[in-house]
């Protein structure tokens, strides 16, 4: 475990050009923010993160490496940590672990290593991986941040990685609702039309940094899209098919005012 201010010095002193699992640690309001990752060059990766303006929020880093960790096991640790932290609501960032999971054999072999890491984290006095009893929050309602049009025929929420978003089918067309979060940066595979639309929205002030989730920006207006799949591609910023990550919630949930 290392404070951000000491990270550069630590990475120069230790033999960290080896496969490793790491986690960036910060705090936003009263909620811990954690971003798990893996690398074969900790010094280079940490140097990159320290100079990334989008990662200004982290103030500590946990680095786990050694003879028992190769590239595949580092990826498995990232996968386990990412899934657990997302479930607990402590990881709101797409860290790369939301892609395909490692092979089943690697996951099986890496599970004991992950449990050992959890024990290590507990011994350090941290409880990031442990569940807590918390009061039910407004955001537990899948449609809490959004104002659903009165004439909506269907409503769906996006359930992939860190991004909270909802869409409504109105007069045969899908609309990505105001209050939906999208990734703050597109990937190289992003569609040109999505890049252009993002740029227009940013210039118009209709995309704003999320007050709750670093790494996400919030849509301040309803945005018409051609399909749910197109909405997912716009949210994540790549060309991958994302239709399967939408869940139809109908019109049972109460309508709420948008975030802004």
Confidence of residue 259 (pLDDT cuts 50, 70, 90): very low
Highest mean predicted confidence (pLDDT) among 53-57, 68-72, 130-134: 68-72
Q: What is the pLDDT of residue 98?
A: 52
- Cα separation, 241 vs 216, in Å, equals 20
pLDDT in tens, 65-103: 888 888 899 988 988 888 788 777 777 545 555 555 677
Q: What is the DSSP letter of 52?
A: -
Lowest mean per-residue pLDDT among 67-81, 109-123, 125-139, 216-230: 125-139
Non-local CB neighbours of 49 within 8 Å, separated by 6+ positions: 24, 55, 58
Strand order in the sheet with 173-176: 223-225, 173-176, 163-170, 154-160, 246-248
Q: Which tokens in the block code for residue 221?
A: 């207006």
Give the model confidence (pLDDT) of 229-254 as tens digits. Answer: 899 899 988 888 777 788 888 654 43
Q: Which residues contact 86 (CB under 8 A, 6 or more apart)?
A: 161, 162
Q: What is the mean pLDDT of residues 46-50?
A: 88
Contacts (Cβ under 8 Å, ≥6 apart) of 151: 170, 171
Alpha-carbon gap, residue 86 to 222, rounded angstroms: 26
Tokens linked to 252: 């049972």
What pTM was estimated for this model as a whole? Answer: 0.52
Do β-strands 154-160 and 181-183 pair in parallel, antiparallel, or remain unpaired? Answer: unpaired
pLDDT band at residue 17 using 50, 70 and 90 as cut-offs:
confident
Q: Who wins on pLDDT, 193 or 216? A: 193
The pLDDT of residue 260 = 32
Contacts 24+ apart (CB under 8 A), 11-14: 11/42, 11/43, 11/46, 11/47, 12/43
Average pLDDT of span 9-28 = 79
Q: In what order do the strands lie in the sheet with 2-3?
A: 2-3, 58-65, 20-28, 31-39
- Decide: helix, strand or coil at residue 79: helix
d(CA 260, CA 218): 9
Burial of 245 (0-12, 13-18, 19+ CB in 10 A): buried
pLDDT at 139 over 60: no
């Amino acid at each position: 475990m290392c404070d951000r201010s000491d990270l550069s010095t630590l990475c120069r002193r230790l033999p960290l050009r080896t496969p490793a699992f790491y986690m960036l640690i910060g705090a936003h309001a009263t909620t811990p923010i954690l971003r798990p990752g893996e690398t074969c060059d900790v010094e280079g990766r940490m140097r990159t993160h320290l100079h990334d303006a989008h990662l200004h929020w982290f103030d500590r880093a946990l680095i786990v490496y050694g003879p028992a960790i190769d590239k595949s096991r580092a990826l498995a640790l990232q996968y386990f940590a990412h899934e657990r932290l997302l479930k607990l609501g402590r990881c709101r960032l797409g860290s790369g672990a939301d892609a395909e999971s490692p092979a089943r054999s690697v996951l099986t072999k890496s599970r004991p290593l992950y449990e050992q890491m959890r024990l290590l984290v507990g011994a350090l006095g941290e409880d990031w991986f442990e569940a807590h009893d918390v009061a039910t929050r407004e955001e537990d309602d899948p449609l809490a941040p959004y104002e659903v049009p009165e004439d909506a025929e269907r409503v769906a929420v996006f359930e992939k990685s860190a991004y909270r978003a909802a869409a409504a089918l109105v007069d045969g067309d899908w609309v990505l609702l105001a209050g939906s979060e999208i990734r703050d940066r597109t990937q190289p595979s992003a569609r040109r039309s999505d890049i252009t639309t993002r740029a227009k929205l940013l210039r118009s002030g209709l995309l704003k940094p999320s007050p709750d989730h670093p790494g996400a920006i919030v849509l301040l207006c309803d945005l018409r899209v051609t399909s749910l799949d197109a909405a997912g591609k716009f949210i994540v910023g790549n060309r991958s098919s994302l239709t399967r990550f939408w869940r139809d919630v109908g019109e049972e949930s109460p309508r709420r005012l948008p975030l802004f």
